[in-house]
Structure 1
Amino acid sequence: MMSDMSELKKTLSIAGIAVLLGAVAIVSAPRRAAPDAFFDVGEPFFPEFTDPEEAATLEVIEFDEEQAAAIPFMVTNRNGLWTIPSHHDYPADGEERLADAAANIISVIKDDFRSDNVADHEALGVIDPTDDTVSSLQGRGSRVTFRAADERVLADLVIGRSVPGRPGLRFVRVPDQKRVYAARFEADISTAFEDWIETNLLEVEREQVDRITLNEYFIDERTLSVVRRGEFIMSKDGEDAWSANEAPAGQEVDTVQVNLLIGAVMTMRIAGVRPKPPGLSGNLREAFEQGQISQSDVQTLTSRGFYPTAEGGLLSNDGELLVRTNEGVLYTLRFGEIVYGRGEAVAVGDDSSDEEETGSGENRYVFITAEFDESALPEPDASDADAHASWENRVREGREKAERLANRFAGWYYVIQSGSYDRVHRPSAEFLKDIEEAEAD
């Protein structure tokens, strides 16, 4: 009997272990969603959002794991003016790009249901980047929000990881919901500052440029003295011919290099901006004469590599480039201090900027001004009424453009990318070449 009881206990023990293992298997196996979990597959995320033109604000929040911080980017329309609030309210060229992005978000549908388990959010990359209740720095997605002019939310999604084996599909989630879907999301919603601003900042066209001046000097910061190298002026003589004020014997202007310089000016890449103090946003000479510039204003100038003179002028760390057009607009680009750092530290400026000098491949402060140069449009003889009327129109248009651009540049220090700086800040010797002897007939 004892033997039978032992066998029974042994059998029950084995059975118990089997039941336990079975329970563990059930818990750890991937859960299959019930059929009713797919009730909304195929539906749009935001059925009431149908008109892309209704979008007045786009906000994209990404998470920087290195800084353990959410990084916001916003572009919005305020009273008809597009600005970038996340970047000092700098004017944006954003209407068309925002409408395209809105049209893309409208077209996103719930292609497939994936999970309603909060524990899956990290693996799928759909944790809200602004969620402070979650300790994990990983698995945070990008939150994309569109709002109407009245601040009403039109669309709001957290965009997560790509769906393995299904190109073009991403895991997505509405921020206040647990459900995660796979959805086709291929919209190019850039958070790069330079993608949302005027690409041809100076509004210069190649054929308009008729004079270029390289004012070559630098500031010895130890003695605060100006070390001048010379002023090299190149003037357009014909459709594709240039001459220089100081071309050594046997040399001439290299037109190819001039065209490369003009192209670099047209495509100058802006990496960031900094707002100027009010006293520095107008005419410096008048501001100095009227005592509108404080000592702190002067410090903001010098810290960026710009030095006011007693005459109300302005010198810069690394010289100047002056570009004039046949419209009479004269642009002056003054090259200041190096801007170290990367990412938002360069685009917006913050305390995390890298102060360590890492070489020449860095960004650069540029102080840009525009003014009207009357000498670009000589007045014709008044006896020719038609020619004189045409000249008056051109002068008026030139003045208006110069004033508009001066107002655009007045409030900002610009930071240009290192590559752009290297292309627009070149020594005069690079624009000369040996005169080629004419080929014999």
Structure 2
Amino acid sequence: MTRGTVIMGVLALLSFVGAMSMRPVEVAPPTFQDTGEALFPEFVDPNAATFLEVKDYDEESAQLTSFSVKLEDGKWVIPSHNNYPADGTEQMGKAAASFISVTKDVVRSDDPKEHAEFGVVDPEDEAAAKDSRGRRVTIKDASGTNLVDVIIGKDVPERQGFKFVRYPGENRVYAVELDPQVSTGFTDWIEDDLLKMESDDIVAVLSNSYSVVEGTDPVTGEKTTKLENDNPMYFELSDSGAFGADGQPSAEWATAAPPVFGPDGARIDPATWEGEEPLPQPATAPEGKELNPTKVKQIVGASDRMKIVGVRPRAARLDPFEMKSKGFFLVGEPPRLSLLGNEGEVHLISNDGVIYTLFFGEVTYATGEALSAGGEEDAVEEGEDASRANRYMFVNVSYDARRDQSAGAPAIDGEPRGEARAQMLAERFERWYYVIQDSSFVQVHKVPDDFWRDLKE
């Protein structure tokens, strides 16, 4: 074999190798070995869930939001809202059940560069592009073990009821049939009956729409607090002289004198009173006017239906500066301090001696988590959208045995009455004050002129 023949052979071999290296190669498709498997194989009992956390990114406010609820000492609480009590059994059951038996339907990608397209970028990723973040849902059991930990992305096109999902820390994206029943709405998780009262049990109402005005004593230089338009209006249910459809005597609201009780606990009759100090008198109608009892009914009905949209922790020792910023004032000297609201107060007296006192404070235009949980709240500015207005409110509960018509009567449907109910309610309200819808405030807050109507001819 000549030298030229050897060289030609080597060149031919190299050409063949080169041609083989340039030949199109089939790319192995993504593995589908886990298709059809359970997304959360260890999660089979919804009652095992004792903790839920949802993290989301609000594109409008450019803020990460977080909501959580957990079972603590046998009671559901909302950690993201200062452990406010949650009515969590039903909501948690729905949330947990929506993740059980969910299967991995189709593997869509193993490429992390496509996470933004599917909307499964971690919501805490600060470098994420707009509209690329998903919602991260974590559910744990009592031992702290993750039962669910997933980032839920966009809807799958042309596949109704399917969503893109991925496990945090992993690249693979699945399309799964999933309807996550996970509410992050604070009001969806709480007891919606705020006052725990029945409107039919309210037998007296005191409304006082005063305003608090701060000033300075010109002599001493000390700060003063006085009330403007301090004009309490007191009403009681009384026999109307008519009978209802059931044949029973019907009652109607009427103005009355605020009650004064003697040392024996009996109510003093102003008609027979012979003391030196005059007794309070009922409000009298302006000329040409009469009481409009519908306005009193509005106060009672709106109070019974009142819903909260936010909560704030109530310290054992109230901070005057914090309270003032919310429209509440502490007057008097410790330990005898009294609370005032800059938009007045309403007292609702039940037939079992339980007395609710509602104090109304400043308006807030906060939204989102700042509204429901507090924190960096929006400042009150001129021109704020009135539709965003909500109102701070304090609730105090007391008991007056002299007004208790249920003394000695058995509990109704197992619910406590009288002093026991007052104690239960006092414990409920002693840790919190609230934000209510301004529409509720408008129905409960009345000025004296609101109670009168033109005389019927």
Q: State the TM bucket, normalised to the shorter chain.
A: 0.7 to 0.9
In the alignment, which residue of structure 2 is the partner of 1:403? Answer: 423
In the alignment, which residue of structure 1 is the partner of 2:149? Answer: 156
Quick one: distance in 2 between partners of 1:425 and 1:341?
Answer: 21
**Counterpart pick for 1:344 among 354, 357, 369:** 369
The higher radius of gyration belongs to 2
In the alignment, which residue of structure 2 is the partner of 1:263? Answer: 301
Quick one: distance in 2 between partners of 1:420 and 1:79?
Answer: 34
1:244 maps onto 2:263 in alignment: no
- The one-letter code of the counterpart of 1:306 is F
In the alignment, which residue of structure 1 is the partner of 2:93? Answer: 99
Q: In 2 relative to 1, CA 151–399 (structure 1 residues): closer, same or farther, beyond 3 Å?
A: same
1:353 maps onto 2:367 in alignment: no
Instruction: Give the 5 Å matches for 1:121-132.
Output: 121-132=115-126
Q: In 2 relative to 1, CA 158–253 (structure 1 residues): closer, same or farther, beyond 3 Å?
A: farther
In the alignment, which residue of structure 1 is the partner of 2:9? Answer: none
Instruction: Give the 5 Å matches for 1:407-422.
Output: 407-422=427-442
Give the C-alpha shift of residue 352 in structure 1. 5.3
Contact 1:68 1:137 in 2 (8 A): no
Bigger proportion of residues as strand: 2
Instruction: Give the 5 Å matches for 1:26-425.
Output: 34=29, 37-132=31-126, 134-221=127-214, 224-237=225-238, 239=250, 241-245=252-256, 246=283, 248=285, 251-280=289-318, 297-310=319-332, 311-351=336-376, 353-359=378-384, 361=387, 362-378=389-405, 389-390=408-409, 397-425=417-445
Contact 1:61 1:144 in 2 (8 A): yes
Question: Among the aligned pairs, what percent are the same residue?
Answer: 38
Quick one: distance in 2 between partners of 1:33 and 1:305?
Answer: 68
In the alignment, which residue of structure 2 is the partner of 1:4? Answer: none
In the alignment, which residue of structure 1 is the partner of 2:447? Answer: 427
Contact 1:377 1:391 in 2 (8 A): no
- The one-letter code of the counterpart of 1:330 is I
**Cα shift readout 1:169-200 (whole Å, capped 9, x = no counterpart):** 22222212222222233233211212211101
Q: In 2 relative to 1, CA 170–427 (structure 1 residues): closer, same or farther, beyond 3 Å?
A: farther
Quick one: distance in 2 between partners of 1:151 and 1:430?
Answer: 56
Quick one: distance in 2 between partners of 1:183 and 1:395?
Answer: 46
Quick one: distance in 2 between partners of 1:436 and 1:139?
Answer: 65
Give the C-alpha shift of residue 99 in structure 1. 1.3
Give the C-alpha shift of residue 257 in structure 1. 4.2
Worse-matched range after superposition: 252-261 or 317-326: 252-261
Q: In 2 relative to 1, CA 331–107 (structure 1 residues): closer, same or farther, beyond 3 Å?
A: farther
Quick one: distance in 2 between partners of 1:52 and 1:170?
Answer: 21
Give the C-alpha shift of residue 107 in structure 1. 3.7
- The one-letter code of the counterpart of 1:264 is A
Quick one: distance in 1 between partners of 2:111 and 2:415?
Answer: 68
Contact 2:149 2:168 in 1 (8 A): yes
Quick one: distance in 2 between partners of 1:432 and 1:109?
Answer: 65
TM-score, normalization by structure 1? 0.78
Q: In 2 relative to 1, CA 233–41 (structure 1 residues): closer, same or farther, beyond 3 Å?
A: farther
Q: In 2 relative to 1, CA 332–166 (structure 1 residues): closer, same or farther, beyond 3 Å?
A: same
Any idea what SS the aligned residue of 1:128 has? coil
Give the C-alpha shift of residue 268 in structure 1. 1.9
Worse-matched range after superposition: 188-197 or 104-113: 104-113
Worse-matched range after superposition: 219-228 or 248-257: 248-257
Contact 1:273 1:415 in 2 (8 A): yes
Contact 1:276 1:412 in 2 (8 A): yes
Q: In 2 relative to 1, CA 428–42 (structure 1 residues): closer, same or farther, beyond 3 Å?
A: farther
In the alignment, which residue of structure 1 is the partner of 2:271? Answer: none
Contact 2:352 2:405 in 1 (8 A): no
**Cα shift readout 1:214-254 (whole Å, capped 9, x = no counterpart):** 11201124664210241122222355522223362665554
Quick one: distance in 1 between partners of 2:326 and 2:122?
Answer: 37
Q: In 2 relative to 1, CA 154–396 (structure 1 residues): closer, same or farther, beyond 3 Å?
A: closer
Q: In 2 relative to 1, CA 318–138 (structure 1 residues): closer, same or farther, beyond 3 Å?
A: same
| RMSD over aligned Cα atoms | 3.1
Structure 1's unaligned 5+ residue stretches are: 1-22, 281-296, 380-387
Any idea what SS the aligned residue of 1:105 has? coil
TM-score, normalization by structure 2? 0.76
Contact 1:114 1:181 in 2 (8 A): yes
Q: In 2 relative to 1, CA 171–377 (structure 1 residues): closer, same or farther, beyond 3 Å?
A: same
Contact 1:247 1:432 in 2 (8 A): no
**Cα shift readout 1:361-381 (whole Å, capped 9, x = no counterpart):** 5222111111112233248xx
Contact 1:268 1:416 in 2 (8 A): yes
Contact 1:61 1:129 in 2 (8 A): yes
Structure 2's unaligned 5+ residue stretches are: 1-22, 217-224, 240-249, 257-282
Any idea what SS the aligned residue of 1:420 has? helix
Give the C-alpha shift of residue 85 in structure 1. 0.7
Contact 1:243 1:252 in 2 (8 A): no
Worse-matched range after superposition: 343-352 or 390-399: 390-399
- The one-letter code of the counterpart of 2:50 is A
Contact 1:340 1:357 in 2 (8 A): no
